[in-house]
Amino acid sequence: MQLSKAMSNEWARYGIDVNAIAPGCIRTEAIAGLVSNPQRAPLILARIPAGRSGEPEDLKRTAVFLAQAASDFVNGVILPVDEGYLAI
């Protein structure tokens, strides 16, 4: 996180925005065992306000937003894609 923020400060003068995506519980092979485990899944999903894990598509849309002109004035942001997990 600090590297992204430091780089955003250094590179802004060159017109380069630096941001980071902080994914939450995204349904990938890495967490497949957790979200399919009947004992663990309810504990994990209870901490996510939407009650579901994220999909890779959720991260893709965030990356596309950060690559578009819509985010031209966004710099130095660590953007959590966690459906509110950190808000609890």
Phi, psi dihedrals of residue 11, rounded to the nearest 5°: -95, -10
pLDDT at residue 88 above 80?
no
User: pLDDT by residue (tens digit) across 21-40?
Assistant: 999 989 899 888 888 889 98
CA gap 78, 56 in Å, rounded? 18
DSSP element (H, E) containing 78: strand 78-81
39-72 pLDDT tens trace: 988 988 898 998 888 999 999 999 999 999 999 9
What pTM was estimated for this model as a whole? 0.83
Residue 7 reports pLDDT greater than 90: yes
* Positive or negative torsion for Cα 39, 45, 51, 53: negative
What's the confidence (pLDDT) of residue 78? 96
In order of their start, the domains of the chain are 2-87 (3.40.50.720)
